Every structure is written in structure tokens, then in C-alpha cells.
Amino acid sequence: MRNRQVQILSLLITFASAATLLSTPAAAQPPPFSCDPSSPSTKSFPFCKASLPISKRAQDVVSRLTLDEKISQLVSSTPAIPRLGVPAYEWWSESLHGVSNAGRGIHFDGTIKSATSFPQVILTAASFDADLWYRIGQVIGTEARAVYNAGQATGMTFWAPNINIFRDPRWGRGQETPGEDPLVTGKYAVSYVRGVQGDRPQGGGKSRGGLQASACCKHFTAYDLDRWKGVDRYDFDAQVTAQDMADTFQPPFQKCIQDGKASGIMCAYNRVNGVPSCADYNLLSNIARRQWSFHGYITSDCDAVSIMYDNQKYAKTPEDAVADALKAGMDVNCGTYLQNHTKSAVEQRKVSVSEIDRALHNLFSVRMRLGLFNGDPKKQPFGNIGPDQVCSQKHQDLALEAARSGIVLLKNKEKHLPLQRSKSASLAVIGPNANKASNLLGNYAGPPCKSVTLLQALQSYVKDTRYQPGCDDVVCSSPQIAQAVEVAKAADHVVLIMGLDQTQEREDFDRVDLVLPGRQQEFITTVAQAAKKPVILVILCGGPVDIRFARDDQNIGSILWAGYPGEAGGMALSEIIFGEHNPGGRLPVTWYPQEFTRVPMTDMRMRPEPSTGYPGRTYRFYQGQSIFEYGHGLSYTEYSYKFISVTRELFYLSQSAKSQPDEASDASPRYRLVSDLGADFCKKSNFVATVKVKNHGDMVGKHPVLLFVRHAKPSSGSPMKQLVAFQSVELKGGETMKVQLALNPCDHLSRANENGVMILEEGWRFLEVGDQEYPINVMA
């Protein structure tokens, strides 16, 4: 496999090695920092004494600022304060799936020209591999620090990950998320944040010298509509029930804060139940800071304060908008609105200086945790991370591993894949996504270490490869069907590379349809009918598409979903097509039919309402037909499961601190509030399910084991089933492995009631993995 990679890379004129991406070190500028020990004017300041607690240091620097200086620090592009030796700082940098120049804090115009570009998050999530997510976060954090050390960053605060639930398949930014499941999204958030910030995989470790880089969980909260049929995120008022908020929209943020220890949160554009997220005191101060013990800074999304007045008419004046945001607990405004209107808000006594000081304390504390007030960063714990660690071979190998691990085999009729190279005398590569490397990246991508199209990668496997784009772009309004048919007829095998790109789904642009754009379906069907053998269809997209025509077409032998697979996506797909890697990804979202578009995207309800025909959303509640179900994914081998043991099968609600369960109506079971069960009961009720997994084939495979729980008699509002644990395993052909999955009834057997309170109900449940199930019981 390693030799194959070398052969591929040697053929690509677009490939730039890490060495060629580096110019002479003399061109590098020193990174910006405060508290230069050689400066007599600043070294005596208490805020420069690293031995003091950060809270005291932050308090000291804030106390030295004039009101104008204070206001200048409340926006994302903050100016320098020369008299204190404080340099300018940029809060807005991006690192969704690799260090990017999409924000203003990172510049690839010096020694470092690019960074490792991993698959878009939705594909990485399909691996169901928390260790992989952590390692990706580690690489991003390391490369971010390297860019800073090279003098090409004016900030170390990165506005990622996006952990909103992929609630509606039309959402243009769903590609940025880990999918539709709250548990997976929360675990992804924790893994990514720990990796970026320099924590240990299991957490609890004090990062070397503080934060390697700062991660920011966004968009808080219930944000999943950008621009759909005249409704945009700036005006949208998301009507969310307390029940859906408690068990769908909020859990990933709670995990990100409490377990991941994220140092940043971004409040969203939209209103939730009438209140703008960035003006919601209960959300920002009460829930995040008090209930979840958040310690970090809160930023607005860009211009989210201005729209409270300009768009939403929530605030009567610009000064009211500023006051609402600061009093709610927001600390920094992406944009210039606070710079323009805070002083007048103070003069009008709508904002106190103490509220400004509170925000600045949070902001300077994070900069200090990053080591930016400790003198020369080259002499600090992360100071030895150099340009050689950006686009290193190790990092590029991880990008390839991530793409391999996420790609999902949706269909493989009569084991059409993998192709045997020796039998592939000629190959036709057809489609608008075949020879465009940029289409592999997804949004928020920075310049990648290398640029490899799927066509280029496939050419290294088959010398006689014929290429026909077929359509000028994915819109495919005027397909060259006749030309594509001629190419397909002459080849032994045909690979069609179709789907979407960023013109079809992106930030500020939601889809209105779930079918492939333009005449793609006609094009695919006609070419497949003309080919000698069933064709291979590769779909690039972030959100689901209705491809039931391809699923049911006998002329289409195999379908691969590749998301937006990043800089190594072309190589990963080629390895899978020719059997050098066994696909193991599983869908992190439900693939809905086109008929789902009858449901308004503005309807936030997760639960179905059969009386009105509302089908519900996501695998947990959706009652309609699916093109492909959540967790679907095939392999070149077969796996079987068997429950070996479950350490606890019976739970008594009466054994907790409160003696009697709460009574419900005759139609509902008895239950207990999880908060009443007590921490001791929950801790002592931990149990482990051990599952035997066997690879029945000859090929090694990486395989995600997904464990669900299903209530035998679900009460109204209960999920039909719920993912409660997952683990990725690698098994050789014929190998068997025992997988232990840790569970807790308070976390994994409870549900939210209509008041948004978590309850544990009596009754039988079934643990399910594959086609196996195991009964457990909760008794009153």
C-alpha cells in the first residue's frame, strides 16, 4: 500500500511536498506576544508575571486600560496597546478540518504555504472513531501553533468545531457537522477540542503550559438553517420545545464544555423562542457558565449583535443591542458594532463599565492561557513546534487514514467491488467531480498540502484510463451524454463521479431539493445502460441525496459515498475501488427521499405528529421511508455480533435516595427524575455490555460497532431507538474480538419529558447491535 502511494504521488504534477512548500527561514517574522522580558517598560507589570494566577493577571491588565482602550478590545480585530506592550490580536481564525485562512488570523504568505486538509467533518464522523477525531484535532492544534511560531498568525483562537445537529437534510452547513446524533456529535466535540487544545485523549490532563490552541464550540444553539425559500438565519426565530432542547440540541454543547473543556463558545445568529442567542442571559450565563461551569470566552457570530437591531428588531437602538449582548454574557463581537456603539451605551447608562470589565477579563484570560503574555513564545512549552511539522508525512498519512475510514460503501451488488487490477485493461472515468481537486475539500478549507484528483489517482492504477467530464459542472444542465456513452462503451469498467459541490450546499445557502442537480440522473442512467458491465457510482456531497434510482438500478453495481474527502480523498477512493483498503464507514445521517422536502425546513420539531402527517426527524424519531438508514454501510467482508455478557440487567428505581417513583397516567409508566436519583445511584449503576465481533471474510477491515437501545413499549415522545455507545475496531480476516461498551442508566436509558427534564422510566429495553439484541429491565 505504501508503494502504491509513492507511485501515485510520483505521477502528479500538482503534488507539492512539504519541502517545496517551505521558503527560506529568513523570511519568517517573529510571532506577536506581550511581556517582552527585554523591555523595561513592561516586565514589571503584574500581568506579565507568569507565577501569578491568571485571574489576577487578567484583572491587572484590565485595570490599566482606559475606557476607549477597553472598548477597542471588545471586537474580533483588536488593535495594539503600545504603552502596555500588548500587540494587536485577531480572535477570528478557522480550523474546521484543518488550519484555514478562511478567517483573518491565519496567513499562508510566509514560510508556511499550506496545511493538512482533512476530510470535511461529516465524512470523518462516518468513521465513528473517537481516537481518529482526537488525532485530527492534535494535528490541527500542532499546525496552528507552528503557523503562529512562524509569525503567520495574529491569533490562536479557532472557531471550530461546528456541533449543531444535522436536523434537516437540506441544510447547507450540515457538511460541517458530525451528523444527526447528539451522542456522536458530543463525542466528536470532546475529542476534537481535547486534541486541538493539547489535552490528553481521556481529558483531565493539564495542558503543557496551558492551551496549545483555543477551540470554540459553535453555534450555540439550535442553529441549522441558513437561507431557505426566503427565510434566512439573521431573521429566523427557531421555535424549539423544551423536550427537543434537552435531548437533541443542547447535549453536544454540554459535552463540549464539561468534558472537552472548550475555551470558547460562539452564540448563533438566530433567535430561539423569540430571544437572540447572543442576548440570552439564561443560555450564556446561567446554563453555560453556572450550570455547566464554562470557563472561557463567548464570541458572537459575525455581525450577530448588529442584526438584533437591524434585522430582528429585538433591540430598539444600537446601544440596546450592545447592552443586551454584554449583559447576557457575550464577551467579544465579531465585527465592529461594539467598537462603534459601546461608548454611547455607557454614556446612556445602558451598560456599566463593570460589565465591560467582566468581558475583558474572560478575553485576556484566554490569551494568557495560550501563553501569549509569557514573553518570547519560542521559549515557551509550544515554542519548538516549527514549519517542518506542517504538512509532515505523518500528518498527510493521517489525512489519508481519515478519508479511508469515512468513505461509505452504500451498494455492492454481487460483490462488484473491489476491481481486480489485473483484469482492468481499460477504465472510463466520467463526471464533473472527477478532475477537480477543489471539489474534494468542502467549505472552510485552507490551501492543502497536495492536490490530487480522483482521476489522477485512478490513472496510476490503470494505464488505459479515458476521461470524459460529461457535464461542465455539477449543475449538469447540458450534459454531453453522447460523448460519455462512447467513452463508457469502449471501457472495461466505468467509474462515474457525480454529486454536489459548494455551489449546491454551503454557508448561507440551503437546498430546496434532495435529488441530484440538473440532468445528472438522466446522465448516470444512460451511461450505466451503455456500459459493458455494471458501473461504479461515486457520490460527493455533504448532505443526503435521493439516489433511489441508482440504488435500484441493476446497471449500477456499486455506490460509494465520499462526502468531501479532503486532500487525500482521491487516493483513498482509488485504494477502495481497487481493494487496497476495505471500506468501513457508516452513514452519520439519514438519507431521506425527495418527498421529505414537503416538510418545512423551519419546523424545528424532532418528534413526529401522526395526526398531521408530520414524520419527525432523524433516525431517532423519523417515521417515513429512507433511501439509506442512519448507520448504513457495507464492507468487502461480513461481520457478525454476539452479546457475551451484560454486567447488570436489572435496575431498581426504589434503590435511589428518593424512595418512591413518580406516578404518571395509566398510559405512561412510572418514572423518576434523573436529578432525584442522585449521583451515588447513577455512579453505582454503571454497567458494561461485552459484544463479540467476528470478521468472516479474508480481508482486514476497520469496522464501527454501534450499540443502540430500544424501549420495548416506548411512551409518547420517546425515541424509537437511540445510539448509546460505539467503538471502531480493526479485525483481520477470520479474527474475533470482544468489545466492551460502558453504559449508565442515568445517561443512556433516560429520556427528556415534555418539560425538558430527564427522567428514567420503568420497563423493558433491548440493547441492539446488528441483528442481535439483549433485554434489560428497569423496575419501580
**Do residues 511 and 504 touch, judged by C-beta distance below 8 A?**
yes
Instruction: Given the residues 129, 181, 226, 301, select the one marked as catalytic.
Output: 301
- The residues near 40 (Cβ < 8 Å, ≥ 6 apart) are none
DSSP code of 32? P
Q: What are phi and psi of 100, to 5 degrees?
A: -130, 155
Find the angle CA(444)-CA(447)-CA(449) to the nearest 5 degrees: 125
Catalytic, 301? Answer yes
Q: Are strands 264-267 and 297-300 parallel, antiparallel or unpaired?
A: parallel
**Radius of gyration, alpha carbons of the chain:** 27
The residue whose grid cell reads 467533518 is 121
**Do residues 517 and 504 touch, judged by C-beta distance below 8 A?**
yes
Rounded distance, CA 731 to CA 735, Å? 6
At 162, list the grid cell.
Answer: 461546528
Kindly give the residue spans of alpha helices, DSSP state H, lying in 629-713. Answer: 674-677, 679-684
At 367, list the grid cell.
Answer: 490569551
Handedness of CA 68, 73, 75, 80 (dihedral sign): positive
The residue type of 453 is T
Kindly give the residue spans of alpha helices, DSSP state H, lying in 99-258. Answer: 121-125, 130-149, 182-197, 242-244, 251-258
Question: Which residues on neighbouring strands pair with residue 692, listed in sequence order?
Answer: 642, 738
**Do residues 170 and 229 touch, judged by C-beta distance below 8 A?**
no
At 431, list the grid cell.
Answer: 463526471
At 275, list the grid cell.
Answer: 430571544
Rounded distance, CA 226 to CA 231, Å? 8
Question: Which residues on neighbouring strands pair with residue 467, listed in sequence order?
Answer: 429
Q: How far apart are the first and last CA of the chain?
A: 57
Q: CB atoms < 10 A from the CB of 509, how many?
A: 15
The residue type of 228 is W
Sheet holding 701-711: strands in order across? 650-652, 772-779, 763-769, 701-711, 722-731
Question: Which residues on neighbouring strands pair with residue 332, listed in sequence order?
Answer: 299
- The residues near 147 (Cβ < 8 Å, ≥ 6 apart) are 99, 106, 108, 112, 115, 153, 390
Q: What are phi and psi of 31, to 5 degrees?
A: -70, 150
Catalytic amino acids? 301
